[in-house]
Amino acid sequence: MKQNKIFRMCAAAVIGLLLACMAVVPVSAENDPTRVIPVDGNLTRIAPVDPDLTTIMSVDGNLTWVHVIPVDGGSLVIDEGGGTDCTAYAGSWFVENHVPGSVYRFVVECEYADANRAIGEMAEFRLEGPDGAVDTWSINDTPFFNDDWTGTLSVDFMPERPGAYHWEIACDKGGESASSRGDLIFR
């Protein structure tokens, strides 16, 4: 009898705790999350966006929480497989449901495939955001070593108003280079 009473009290406490936790779960101020859609309609390039992705950033000299929305900034590839070949692709994106104060993070996938065919040259990757922010990565091609590299470049951008904004990506290895311009369009 006493065990039955203790079990009921514990069950009631657990149920009460669950109800209290559900009551304090934050509710989004926006019914529709921001969506970034490719202008060309190629939906296979869209990565899922975490609507709760936030970070602390310095905005006008003050540290504050901001909503960060990742944008596929394209890809850069330097391949020495059949001689040195550089390729660059940055797409065009349309933003629905823009929330002022959101930060858009351009993320560019980069790959360097070293085949020791162009030895001793520097391989360079570059991303320049709409506001002039730059991220770069350089690889010194060492003879007889495999310098393969896969990684990302990223810059953050907070648009002031609706409009069209552009970013530039480029790669270079010796005499071969490639570049592409991407578009982010807001209503």
Report pLDDT digits (tens) over 83-129. 778 899 998 888 877 778 888 899 999 999 887 666 678 889 999 99
* Burial category of 65 from C-beta neighbours within 10 Å (exposed 0-12, middle 13-18, buried 19 and up): exposed
pLDDT grade, residue 187 (50/70/90)? low
Is 139 domain-assigned? yes
Give the residue among 138, 136, 127 at the shortest CA–CA distance from 166.
Answer: 127
**What's residue 19's pLDDT?**
45
Q: Which residues 6+ apart lie within 8 Å of 10 measured at CB?
A: none
- Cα dihedral 96→100→102→105 (10° resolution): 60
- Separation between Cα atoms, residue 116 and residue 113, nearest integer Å: 9
Mean predicted confidence (pLDDT) in 131-157: 90
Instruction: Please say whether the beta carbons of 155 and 168 come within 8 A.
Output: no
Is 153 domain-assigned? yes
Is 9 domain-assigned? no
**What's residue 113's pLDDT?**
87
Instruction: Please say whether the beta carbons of 8 and 154 come within 8 A.
Output: no
**What's residue 9's pLDDT?**
61
**What's residue 167's pLDDT?**
95
pTM for the model: 0.69
β-pairing, 35-38 vs 149-157, is unpaired
Mean predicted confidence (pLDDT) in 23-33: 40
Query: Domain count of the chain?
Result: 1
**Average pLDDT of the chain, as a whole number:** 75
Is 155 domain-assigned? yes
Is 6 domain-assigned? no
Residue 30 has pLDDT above 50, yes or no: no
Domain hosting 128: range is: 30-186
Residue 15's identity, in one-letter code, is I
DSSP assignment, residue 44?
G
pLDDT grade, residue 21 (50/70/90)? very low
Residue 168 has pLDDT above 60, yes or no: yes
**What's residue 144's pLDDT?**
78
Instruction: Please say whether the beta carbons of 174 and 83 come within 8 A.
Output: no
Q: Torsions phi, psi of 135, nearest 5?
A: -130, 135
Is 1 domain-assigned? no
**What's residue 174's pLDDT?**
81
Is 11 domain-assigned? no
Mean predicted confidence (pLDDT) in 3-22: 54
Is 65 domain-assigned? yes
